Amino acid sequence: MATEHADNVQHAEHALTPSGYIEHHLSFNAYPVNESAGFWTLHVDTFVMSVALGLIVMGLVWLVARTATAGVPSKGQAFVELVFGFIDDQVKNIFHGNRHSFIAPAALTVFLWVFAMNAMDFLPVDWVAGVVSFFGGEHAKWRAVPTSDINTTFALALSVWILMIFFAVKVKGLGGWIHELFCAPFGTKIWVWPANFLFNMIEYVSKPLSHSLRLFGNMYAGEVIFLLLGLWAATGLTGTIAGAILGAGWSIFHILIVALQAFIFMMLTVVYLAMAHESH
């Protein structure tokens, strides 16, 4: 779990100060892509981890899909088809259009990618830090869980948000969409237009926020708990044993959270995109 190397990775400056340890583990490997820095900063760790995971996961699925046969499937194909069927069933229950052209494959991408990124939480935090400090020196920072970076979850949620508006305009036309902004859900009477518009604005703002913050909060909290257990493990033999046991327990419980949050994120994506297709 997160305990064994707690001592090893402490830098002299941070040695055994809890705030230093946590700060080290919650700092991004930030790289300014522009002199002005500020917004123009890239979290290299988040980006590299997520892209690598995306390529690995979707690449593996692609390798299976390439040679997919309608006959007797191989074990790998059977597993991929199991995931495929699971996602397809969920989408089918929510969205009643041509799901195969976009929404279902998008849901598959979201589920597998988010699941893989969440699953990085199982890597012991100090082992990751150990590997990184071996290559990058003691000051090197590396956060392994891309979904505990608000940028990732917000990027996904905003992409879904943009798709949502895109589909709404595509299905209802620009006029229809604007009409709906003012005339739903309370009715078409002119004096309820402000209420309708306000209601829709709140909905459009709250959707990406709740979508992204739910995933971010869960993964961030999970990581912080691993760090606290790691801290405890650094306080002596009792702490090491207790921290290891609790860390194991939290990891096992975290399997549920990782899968559940990936599933929820995928379901919300599908629900939002399906809602965009529906006329009121």
Q: Decide if 210 is catalytic.
A: yes
The residue among 68 and 242 lying less far from other proteins, judged by its C-beta, is 68
Least distance CB 271 / other proteins (angstroms) = 17
Verify binding: residue 101, other proteins, rule CB under 8 A.
yes
Verify binding: residue 50, other proteins, rule CB under 8 A.
yes
What tokens does 43 get? 């979290």
Residue among 2, 6, 106, 227 that touches other proteins (CB under 8 A): 106
Q: Decide if 214 is catalytic.
A: yes
The residue among 227 and 233 lying less far from other proteins, judged by its C-beta, is 227
Verify binding: residue 109, other proteins, rule CB under 8 A.
yes
Neighbours of 214 (CB within 10 A): 16
Verify binding: residue 71, other proteins, rule CB under 8 A.
yes
The residue among 167 and 232 lying less far from other proteins, judged by its C-beta, is 167
Least distance CB 240 / other proteins (angstroms) = 32
Options 50, 148, 196, 218, the catalytic residue:
218
Q: Decide if 133 is catalytic.
A: no
Options 27, 151, 159, 214, the catalytic residue:
214
Query: Which residues have a catalytic role annotated?
Result: 210, 214, 218
